[in-house]
Structures are given as structure tokens and as C-alpha cells.
Structure 1
Amino acid sequence: MLVSEFIGRCLQDVEGSAVQCSNSHSVPYLKDWHFVKEYPEYVAYKTPIFFCDDWLNLYLDNYRMHTDSDKYQENNEICCSDYRFVYMGVKGSWTPLHADVFRSYSWSANVCGKKRWLFLDPSQHHLVFDRNMKNCVYNIFDEVSDSKFPGFKKAIWLECMQEAGEIIFVPSGWYHQVQNLVYTGKELEKRLFIVILNTISNTNKACSICFSSSQAEPTYWA
């Protein structure tokens, strides 16, 4: 799907529930778009100083792979990507419960919209897995089976609302689930997608846009 097609669908009368996620809702959500890598000349943002020690992306930015690993090639082909993403989603779009890849930590800057974050302390991770510690709960707002996930109801969730212009830091190993919520008010209604796509849309559809970057597991210091 092209980005233009995605935007067209967002502008249709498609709406999910901002209170409770459901797998039955089909709302558009653009996830894991490597915008920075695809449009480096745009310079979409500068990494905040607190997050500049970005080992994972530093490695991937300089890592090259051969198309044929058995042959030397002077001009290697880049076969890997980075962990810098853009997310765009309307009301009701959401990300399932997960921990960031490679036990990385991450930060997420919300350009516009409003997001609801649910965090789980690493000491309680066993509560969202089945008896064999293989399968994790997918959606914490679903009816979760007591027999399959016997400890789920004991989990204590930390909730945070992220407004436009705010950055969320996700420590290494913290499971989290994220929802895009309705943002009432005329300001957001008048600026759907303009930050990334430099267009102006007068619409009353709520939308959330954010930049996200996953980074290597940090060294701990006092």
C-alpha cells in the first residue's frame, strides 16, 4: 500500500474504540516505516541528546552484507535496515503487548495526537506468559483465559498518557502496549499528517504521528 493510499483510507469514515482495543476493529495504522532511511535529505528530526548513544543504529548504519557471501564485491549491497520508525494511526489503532527487539531500549516522540501506554515491570513478565513461558498475551484488553494465563490478573500495569510534543522512554525489557486515542480540539483536526508529508488537511479525524527509535541495551551506571 502506498502512503497516499493509506492517507486516503484514514480520511474515510473508519473509526475504532479508544477505550478498548479489539481484534475485530480494522483501522489503518502505518507502522515501522523507515522514513529517516528512505528520505535522509529531509532531516526529519535530530536525536535528543539524552538518546544519542545509539549503539544499535550506529552498527546497522555501517553494516554491509554481500549479496553472495562467498564472493568478494567491491560495492557491497546494504541488506539490513535501521530501527528508526515512523508510526501514523487514527483513533483505535494500537500496538499489541511486546518488549522491544534484541532487549533494546527505545524512545518515542509524539508529533501530534495522543497515545495511551501500558507498561509492565520486568519483575512481573512471567504473569503475561502461559504455563510453559512460551506464549505471551497479545491484547491485555481481550478476555484473557485464566487457565492459559493463570497469573495475568495479578499483573500491575503502569499507565501513561503521552501528549503531542512529549517523548516516552521505554527501558530495556519492559513489556508495553500502546493505543492511539481521540484528541479533541480544533488544532489537531486541522493538521493531519502535515508534519511528515507537508500537506494540510482539514478533517475531524483524530490521528497520532510519532517518531520512534530502538537502541542497544544500555550499560548501567550509578
Structure 2
Amino acid sequence: MLVSEFIGRCLQDVEGSAVQCSNSHSVPYLKDWHFVKEYPEYVAYKTPIFFCDDWLNLYLDNYRMHTDSDKYQENNEICCSDYRFVYMGVKGSWTPLHADVFRSYSWSANVCGKKRWLFLDPSQHHLVFDRNMKNCVYNIFDEVSDSKFPGFKKAIWLECMQEAGEIIFVPSGWYHQVQNLVCPSFLCLSMLYTYTLLLLKSFPTIPLKLESFMDQIK
């Protein structure tokens, strides 16, 4: 699916009935979009100093699969890999329970919309795994099997609401699940020791939101 097709689907859901923004309806969610890496020529921002200490991306930004430049393909999957992610979705879209890649520390900036975060302290991680510590609960809002996950009901969740223009710090190893609460809730940016912004020409209000957002963190 092209990004333009995804945005069109989002607009259809937003303009449709309230049912279309409910959790029972399958809604689109763009996740893990490597926008900065895929479009390096589109310089939408300058990384604020607070987020410049970026170990993983420092390595990947200089990574090359082939030492022979004739074999190097700029847009292949490996060379386009980084840990700056863009997320976009409407109300009802969500990210399943997980801990961030490589147990890294990360930041998540919400440009517009409202998100609900549920965090689990690392000391309680065993409660969301099965008896063999191999399988983790996928969706904490589902009917979770007591026999498969006997400790799940004992877990104590920390809840946080993230408004537009706010940045959340996710500590290493903290399992979390995220929900988009507002229709529309379009643009969120996740970083590992970095800060990422996306400017979408398709939405004329986005540049204003980004400008206001940047002013708040200067």
C-alpha cells in the first residue's frame, strides 16, 4: 500500500460513521515507517541537541552492506534500516504489548492526536508471559487466558495519556501497549536517542502543528 492510499483510507474512516473509529472495526495504522532514512534529501528539521546522542542510528547511518560502491544500493532494505520510526493512525489503531528493540531507551513525540500508554515495570514482566516464558500477551485488552498466562491478572499497569506536542520517554525493558484515542490521531514519531519529524504535504494543518511543536521544545 502506498502512503497516499493509506492516507486516503484514513480520511474515509475519519469522515465515516462513529462505528468506523471503534475498536471493533479494522482501522489502518502505519507503523515503523523509516521516513528519514528513505528520504534523506527531504530535510524537514534539525535534530534538537537533546536528542542528538543517538548510538544506534549513528552506527546505521554510516553502515554499508558492500564495501564495493558499485554493488551498493542506496535503497535496499538493509541500507535503509534505522531506528527512527513514524507512526500514523486513526482512533482505534493500536500497538500490541512489546518492549523496544535491543532493550533500548526511546523517545516518542506526539505531533497531533491523543495516545494512551500502558506501561509495565520490568519487575513484573514474568506476569505477561506463559509458564515457559516464551510467549507474551499480545493485547492486554483481550480476554487473556488464565491457564496460558496465570500471572496476568496480577500485573499492575502504569497509565499515561499523551497529548499533542508531548514527548514520552520509554525506559529500557519496559513493556508497553499504546492506543490512539482521538479521531483523527495521525502522527507520532518514535526515536532511539534521536528526534524525528515528518512534514506531510497532504495535510495543510500538519506544518502548523510541527512549527508549534518545535517551539515548545526549543
Of the structure 1 ranges 49-58 and 166-175, higher mean CA displacement relative to structure 2 is found in: 49-58
- Gap change, CA 1:219 and 1:16, over 3 Å in 2: closer
Match of 1:67 in 2: 67
- Gap change, CA 1:67 and 1:24, over 3 Å in 2: farther
String of CA shifts for 1:18-60, please: whole Å, max 9, x gaps: 9999985310001111111122233334334333211001010
How far did residue 122 of structure 1 move?
A: 0.4
Q: Distance in 1 between matches of 2:38 and 2:73?
A: 24
Q: Distance in 2 between matches of 1:113 and 1:91?
A: 9
String of CA shifts for 1:122-158, please: whole Å, max 9, x gaps: 0000000000000000000000011100100010100
String of CA shifts for 1:173-200, please: whole Å, max 9, x gaps: 0000000011xxxxxxxxxxxxxxxxxx
- Gap change, CA 1:115 and 1:20, over 3 Å in 2: farther
Q: Distance in 2 between matches of 1:120 and 1:19?
A: 30
How far did residue 72 of structure 1 move?
A: 11
Where structure 1 has 5 or more consecutive residues not aligned to the other structure, the ranges are 183-208
How far did residue 171 of structure 1 move?
A: 0.7
Where structure 2 has 5 or more consecutive residues not aligned to the other structure, the ranges are 191-210
Q: Is the 8 A contact 2:14 2:20 kept in 1?
A: no
Q: Is the 8 A contact 1:18 1:179 kept in 2?
A: no
- Gap change, CA 1:148 and 1:216, over 3 Å in 2: farther
Q: Is the 8 A contact 1:127 1:155 kept in 2?
A: yes
Match of 1:221 in 2: 217
Of the structure 1 ranges 44-53 and 84-93, higher mean CA displacement relative to structure 2 is found in: 44-53
Could you say what secondary structure the match of 1:56 adopts? helix
- Gap change, CA 1:175 and 1:15, over 3 Å in 2: farther
Higher helix share: 2
Q: Distance in 2 between matches of 1:125 and 1:15?
A: 40
- Gap change, CA 1:114 and 1:73, over 3 Å in 2: closer
- Gap change, CA 1:11 and 1:151, over 3 Å in 2: same
Could you say what secondary structure the match of 2:37 adopts? helix
How far did residue 66 of structure 1 move?
A: 2.2
Q: Distance in 2 between matches of 1:73 and 1:60?
A: 15
Q: Is the 8 A contact 2:111 2:213 kept in 1?
A: no
Of the structure 1 ranges 99-108 and 133-142, higher mean CA displacement relative to structure 2 is found in: 99-108
The alignment covers a number of residue pairs equal to: 194
Of the structure 1 ranges 71-80 and 141-150, higher mean CA displacement relative to structure 2 is found in: 71-80
Could you say what secondary structure the match of 1:147 adopts? coil
String of CA shifts for 1:96-139, please: whole Å, max 9, x gaps: 00000111111011010000000000000000000000000000
